[in-house]
């Protein structure tokens, strides 16, 4: 049995025919050719597959694509384009918040809304708060240090450039 569903992925709506059991992660990777969606565990425990469904972070390995019919999905590809220009992406690079990069899209998609929220509150979070915000994501390479620094940098820089504006 297959079902036709329409997903608006990174701004473009497309209808695809899928088996109900197909995980959103697989559909994004295969039908939408989005290599930035990574699967690290397929049981909800590593955060590698985090995407946004209607603006909210969600694990694409714990979601059936059919559940997302009619919804808007964003993946890491939409964050800062091929040049990775999003302030959080830039901060990751400066602070060495990534090594093999496998966990990176998941961290970015988990943390981008957190960074936005902090910037909106004009508040630089404590390290413990940053670490709690990323507690559902496993990075085996970096020891988290660079990622924490990247979040701090992304928030600080955006608050500063924001305050420079009239």
| Residues contributing to the site for ligand FAD (CB under 6 A) | 44-45
Residues 43-82 that bind ligand FES (CB under 6 A): 44-49, 59, 61
DSSP the chain: --EEEEEEETTEEEEEEE-TT-BHHHHHHHTS--TT---S-SSSSS-TTEEEETTEEEEGGG-BGGGGTT-EEE-THHHHTTTT-SHHHHHHHHTT--SS-SSHHHHHHHHHHHHHHHHHHT-PPPHHHHHHHTTT---SSS-SHHHHHHHHHHHHHHHHHHHH--
| Cβ nearer to ligand FAD, comparing 58 with 153 | 58
Residues 123-152 that bind ligand FES (CB under 6 A): 139-142
Taking the complex as a whole, the smallest distance from the CB of residue 133 to ligand FAD amounts, in Å, to 15
Cα–Cα–Cα angle for 35, 39, 41, rounded to 5 degrees: 170
Per-position x/- string for 12-41, each x denoting binding to ligand FES as judged by CB under 6 A, each - no binding: ---------------------------xxx
19 binds, among ligand FAD, ligand FES, another protein, none (CB under 5 to 8 A by kind): another protein
Considering only 8, 16, 72, 102, the residue that binds another protein (CB under 8 A) is 102
80 binds, among another protein, ligand FES, ligand FAD, none (CB under 5 to 8 A by kind): another protein
Dist. CA 54–CA 45, nearest whole Å: 22
Taking the complex as a whole, the smallest distance from the CB of residue 149 to ligand FES amounts, in Å, to 14
Task: Compute the residue count for the chain.
Answer: 166
Considering only 78, 90, 99, 156, the residue that binds ligand FES (CB under 6 A) is 99
Q: Which residue is nearest to ligand FAD (CB)?
A: 44
Taking the complex as a whole, the smallest distance from the CB of residue 59 to ligand FES amounts, in Å, to 4
């Amino acid at each position: 049995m297959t079902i036709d569903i329409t997903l608006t992925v990174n701004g473009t709506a497309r209808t695809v025919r899928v088996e109900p059991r197909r995980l959103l992660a697989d559909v994004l990777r295969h039908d939408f050719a989005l290599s930035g969606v990574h699967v690290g565990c397929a049981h909800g425990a590593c955060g590698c597959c985090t995407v946004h469904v209607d603006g909210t972070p969600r694990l694409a390995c714990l979601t059936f694509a059919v559940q997302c019919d009619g919804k808007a999905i964003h993946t890491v590809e939409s964050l800062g384009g091929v040049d990775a220009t999003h302030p959080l992406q830039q901060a990751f690079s400066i602070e060495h918040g990534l090594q093999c990069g496998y966990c990176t899209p998941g961290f970015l998609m988990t943390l981008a809304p957190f960074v936005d929220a902090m910037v909106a509150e004009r508040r630089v979070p404590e390290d413990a708060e940053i670490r709690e915000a990323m507690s559902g994501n496993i990075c085996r390479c970096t020891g988290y240090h660079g990622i924490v620094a990247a979040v701090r940098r992304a928030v600080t820089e955006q608050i500063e450039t924001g305050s420079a504006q009239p």
